[in-house]
């Protein structure tokens, strides 16, 4: 079968490898869609933490089960599925507490172990979720939207709160969507005016702020001088994440949904005076996946507009560099098999 391998930074190769073997406890899935996210783009450029080469990328996956052995979930050949790509040990303290999304021995498909940028993949059946009633396009975006849903769950939003979301990429857009479902008044902030327009049209946010201007003044005006009680940073940018400490209200929360390979510094007296709560949000749980799946089924999320760019498997290597350019306007790119 064919597989695309990131051999080293800035280099993909299309290779032929053996088909996966049938193993008890696992299923063989024919991959039909692969979503491209910031993790993949950073890995390609050589600045993704926890990464080694060569590596088959791809953790946003949708496909059809080709073979599966006996299992308690009723999975069978022909089922359309999405994949939970976070392989947890099931034994560490996080797993024992049900927080498999931050397992101490985490192996993420396409990051720590080879992912799904292949025609087929073998994966333990407990990491598959049937997506009956969804299209393949809808199935492949369940994972990135689940990351946003998980961050919102972490924050425990109250109806009517002002929530600032910094970063209008796929994860930030998911956070905006699910924050609105909780009744928040959402402020989207980014340096890209086209992305902010997308936030207004797709996520129907209440307010937008261009970070290239005078963001503190704009946010203060919007909130009537109070500042947002919850701030999410989904940029994965060190400078943005450090600046984010300025924006929460006294007694507020700051949630880092993005990841950067860097130390983050902040001015402790201000952090202390505001009694801020700083939170990390990593990956998502099965419950988050189910929540997103049901939201898509209800029609509250427009997946067609969320996916802005496409490529066939054969043409992906040639398209990848274009997707890295801001002027291309990529929100979510998907590879079709």
User: What pLDDT band is residue 72 in, cutting at 50, 70 and 90?
Assistant: very high
Is 247 contained in some domain?
yes
User: What pLDDT band is residue 38 in, cutting at 50, 70 and 90?
Assistant: confident
The pairing of beta strand 26-36 with beta strand 120-124 = antiparallel
Q: Name which residue leads in pLDDT, 181 or 260.
A: 181
Residue 17 is predicted with a pLDDT of 92
Cα→Cα distances 228→60, 157, 184, 245, 284, Å? 31, 11, 10, 11, 24
Residue 261 is predicted with a pLDDT of 84
- Looking at the predicted structure, is the pLDDT value of residue 50 above 90? no
Q: Domain range holding 191? A: 149-280
Same domain, 23 and 63: yes
User: What pLDDT band is residue 45 in, cutting at 50, 70 and 90?
Assistant: confident
What is the arithmetic mean of pLDDT over 49-71?
A: 93
Enter the tokens of residue 184. Answer: 């928040």
Of 282, 293, 258, the residue nearest 150 (C-alpha)? 282
Is 296 contained in some domain?
no
Helix axes 170-181, 142-155, angle to 10 degrees: 50
Same domain, 12 and 136: yes
Is 292 contained in some domain?
no
Residue labelled with tokens 């704009």:
218
Same domain, 163 and 135: no
Distance, in Å, from the CA atom of 269 to the CA atom of 271, rounded to the nearest integer, reads: 5
Express as a percent the part of the chain with pLDDT over 90: 91
pLDDT, tens only, 292-318: 999 999 999 999 999 999 999 999 999
Is 288 contained in some domain?
no
Cα→Cα distances 95→105, 158, 164, Å? 10, 28, 31
Same domain, 132 and 184: no
- Looking at the predicted structure, is the pLDDT value of residue 206 above 90? yes
Same domain, 275 and 318: no
User: What pLDDT band is residue 145 in, cutting at 50, 70 and 90?
Assistant: very high
Same domain, 12 and 133: yes
Same domain, 182 and 311: no
Distance, in Å, from the CA atom of 298 to the CA atom of 294, rounded to the nearest integer, reads: 6
Question: Which domain CATH number covers 26?
Answer: 3.90.180.10
- CB burial string 290-328: b at 16+ within 10 A, e below: ebbbebbeeeebebeebbbbebebeebeebbeebeeeee
Same domain, 156 and 254: yes
Residue 289 is predicted with a pLDDT of 98
Question: Which domain CATH number covers 221?
Answer: 3.40.50.720
Distance, in Å, from the CA atom of 207 to the CA atom of 143, rounded to the nearest integer, reads: 26
Instruction: Specify the pTM.
Output: 0.95
User: What pLDDT band is residue 284 in, cutting at 50, 70 and 90?
Assistant: very high
Is 243 contained in some domain?
yes
Is 300 contained in some domain?
no
Residue 174: CB atoms within 10 A of its CB come to 28
Of 200, 210, 196, 204, the residue nearest 178 (C-alpha)? 204
């Amino acid at each position: 079968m064919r597989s695309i391998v990131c051999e080293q930074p800035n280099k993909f190769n299309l290779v032929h490898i053996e088909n996966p073997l049938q193993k008890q406890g696992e299923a063989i899935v024919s991959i039909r869609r692969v979503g491209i996210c910031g993790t993949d783009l950073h890995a390609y450029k050589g600045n993704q933490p926890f990464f080694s080469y060569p590596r088959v990328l791809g953790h946003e996956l949708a496909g059809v089960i080709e073979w599966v052995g006996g299992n308690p979930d009723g999975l069978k050949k022909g089922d359309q599925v999405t994949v939970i790509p976070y392989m947890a040990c099931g034994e560490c303290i996080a797993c024992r507490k049900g927080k498999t999304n931050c397992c101490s021995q985490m192996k993420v498909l396409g990051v720590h172990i080879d992912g799904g940028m292949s025609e087929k993949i073998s994966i333990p059946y407990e990491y598959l979720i049937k997506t009956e009633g969804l299209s393949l396009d809808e199935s492949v975006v369940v994972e990135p939207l689940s990351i946003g849903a998980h961050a919102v769950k972490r924050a425990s939003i109250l109806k009517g709160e002002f929530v600032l979301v910094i970063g209008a990429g796929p994860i930030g857009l998911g956070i905006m969507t699910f924050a609105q479902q909780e009744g928040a008044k959402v402020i989207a902030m980014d340096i890209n005016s086209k992305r902010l327009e997308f936030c207004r049209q797709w996520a129907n946010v209440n307010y937008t702020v261009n970070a290239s201007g005078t963001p503190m003044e704009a946010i203060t005006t919007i909130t009537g001088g109070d500042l947002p009680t919850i701030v999410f940073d989904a940029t994965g940018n060190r400078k943005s994440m450090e600046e984010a400490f300025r924006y929460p209200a006294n007694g507020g929360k700051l949630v880092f949904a993005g990841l950067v390979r860097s130390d983050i510094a902040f001015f402790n007296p201000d952090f202390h005076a505001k009694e801020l709560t700083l939170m990390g949000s990593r990956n998502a749980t099965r419950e988050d996946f189910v929540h997103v799946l049901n939201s898509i089924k209800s029609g509250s999320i427009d997946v067609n507009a969320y996916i802005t760019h496409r490529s066939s498997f054969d043409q992906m290597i040639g398209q990848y560099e274009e997707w890295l350019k801001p002027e291309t306007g990529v929100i979510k790119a998907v590879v079709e098999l």
